[in-house]
């Protein structure tokens, strides 16, 4: 058992011996020539799962999001997303740098906005002063929203608005599988609603790297070109794709264990006087706001002394992310620590 209980992110997981074994046995080739069997298998399986025509294996979620937006938007266009969106906050200004597009930020509820908000923020195309609204980007689950899930019916309503105005929809599904497991939805439910979807294999699913961008054959052909341009064309990447295939096979259903632990952790934290409030917990993320003048740094220091790591997501906010490397024993020890702080 590792001494440190690391809840900074679900990206800190280490591949298990079984995953490493699957990687070792991968049949690989040069994927820039389209000759890596394992990458091809992962792309075909991903596309099938979501009911999309094609998929592209990318090294990171940032790249698959940025390409996903770039296939829809060009300089002078506008992207609508929430003010908490990862594509806006944490991708290095990539929407401006890669697509030359401006961003219209919506103030949603923990990162989720409504079809009415979208409708109100679409620019008229017959006024040459205005950027063209070209893409609506949704994040599910919402990282900064405490891992909350979207209501599928609201996404359907947004789809109808976008269809009326010929606007594309992109999904940042870095943690989409957490949402599917929590809400009992299928990948196809989302596949039919979005033009492009980015799903990460390296978050809750535990692979060391890799994301899939899903879409139509035409969009993925365009995406292929952008991936090369961004330097994301990899060679024997089947070793990584094998980890992704293993993750899809073995690590999806078990996400419910992470969700159950996150709920227990939230209940323990709620009982502590230093916690002012907690965002509703639906999946594997717990975000707390600290009481009085207690700063995130001071509590993080105290936790660190007890071998627990978490991350600050604001001056008085702390984020805990439960993942597959938190064993039951570690979780019990975590609960004891929370009670003793
Ligand atoms: C919601 C969300 N989208 C996208 C990403 C980007 O993924 P990557 O770190 O693989 O670039 C992250 C990373 O944590 C994320 O939380």
Span 169-221, pLDDT tens digits: 999 999 999 999 999 999 999 999 999 999 999 999 999 999 999 999 999 99
Ligand 1 midpoint to CA 273 (Å): 32
Domain boundary among 195, 228, 250: 250
Query: Are 203 and 235 contained in the same domain?
Result: yes
For helices 328-340 and 255-270, angle between their N-to-C axes, nearest 10 degrees: 10
- State how far the Cα of 125 lies from the Cα of 286, in Å rounded to an integer: 41
Tell me what pLDDT residue 3 has: 85
| DSSP H or E run through 276 | strand 275-278
Q: Is the pTM of this model over 0.85?
A: yes
Ligand 1 midpoint to CA 59 (Å): 11
- State how far the Cα of 299 lies from the Cα of 312, in Å rounded to an integer: 10
Tell me what pLDDT residue 1 has: 47
Query: Are 51 and 182 contained in the same domain?
Result: yes
Query: Are 63 and 117 contained in the same domain?
Result: yes
For 203, the domain range is 17-250
Query: Are 163 and 225 contained in the same domain?
Result: yes
Ligand 1 midpoint to CA 90 (Å): 8
Q: How many domains does the chain have?
A: 2
CATH number of residue 137's parent domain = 3.40.640.10
Domain boundary among 229, 250, 271: 250
Q: What residue owns the CA closest to ligand 1's atom 5?
A: 61
Ligand 1 midpoint to CA 86 (Å): 7
Query: Are 37 and 78 contained in the same domain?
Result: yes
Residue 307 tokens read as: 């071998």
Ligand 1 midpoint to CA 61 (Å): 5
Residues contacting ligand 1 via CB (< 6 Å): 11, 60-62, 65, 86, 139, 143, 172, 174, 200, 202, 211
CATH number of residue 312's parent domain = 3.90.1150.10
Residue 141 alpha carbon, nearest atom of ligand 1: 1
- Segments in the chain below pLDDT 70: 1-2
- Cross-strand bridge partners of residue 169: 136
Q: What residue owns the CA closest to ligand 1's atom 15?
A: 174
First to last CA, the chain: 22
- Cross-strand bridge partners of residue 286: 320
Q: Is 264 exposed, middle or buried (0-12, 13-18, 19+ CB in 10 A)?
A: middle
138, 135, 121: which is closest to 86 by C-alpha?
A: 138
Site to substitute for ligand 1 among 174, 179, 204, most atoms within 8 A of C-beta:
174
């Amino acid at each position: 058992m590792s001494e440190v209980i690391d809840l900074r992110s679900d990206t800190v997981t280490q591949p298990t011996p079984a995953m490493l074994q699957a990687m070792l046995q991968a049949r690989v080739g040069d994927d820039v020539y389209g000759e890596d069997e394992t990458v091809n298998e992962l792309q075909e399986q991903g596309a099938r799962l979501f009911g999309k025509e094609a998929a592209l294996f990318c090294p990171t979620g940032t790249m698959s999001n940025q390409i996903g937006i770039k296939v829809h938007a060009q300089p002078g266009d506008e992207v609508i997303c929430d003010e908490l969106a990862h594509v806006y906050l944490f991708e290095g200004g990539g929407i401006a740098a890669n697509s030359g597009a401006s961003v219209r930020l919506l103030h949603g509820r923990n990162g989720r906005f409504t079809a009415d908000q979208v409708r109100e923020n679409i620019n008229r195309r017959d006024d040459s002063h205005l950027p063209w609204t070209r893409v609506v980007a949704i994040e599910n689950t919402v990282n900064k929203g405490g891992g909350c899930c979207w209501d599928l019916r609201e996404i359907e309503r947004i789809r109808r608005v976008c269809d009326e105005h010929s606007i594309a929809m992109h999904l940042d599904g870095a943690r989409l599988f957490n949402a599917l497991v929590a809400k009992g939805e299928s990948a196809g439910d989302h596949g039919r609603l979005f033009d492009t979807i980015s799903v990460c294999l390296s978050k809750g699913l535990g692979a060391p790297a890799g994301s899939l961008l899903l879409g139509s054959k035409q969009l993925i052909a365009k995406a292929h070109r952008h991936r090369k341009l961004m330097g994301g064309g990899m060679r024997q990447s089947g070793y990584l794709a094998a980890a992704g295939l293993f993750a899809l096979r073995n690590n999806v259903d078990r996400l419910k264990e992470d969700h159950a632990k996150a709920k227990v952790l939230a209940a323990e934290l709620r009982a502590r006087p230093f916690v002012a409030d907690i965002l509703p917990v639906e999946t594997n993320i717990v975000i707390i706001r600290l009481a009085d003048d207690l700063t995130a740094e001071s509590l993080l220091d105290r936790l660190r002394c007890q071998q627990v790591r978490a991350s600050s997501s604001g001056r008085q906010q702390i984020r805990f992310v439960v993942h597959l490397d938190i064993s039951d024993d570690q979780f019990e020890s975590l609960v004891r620590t929370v009670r003793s702080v």
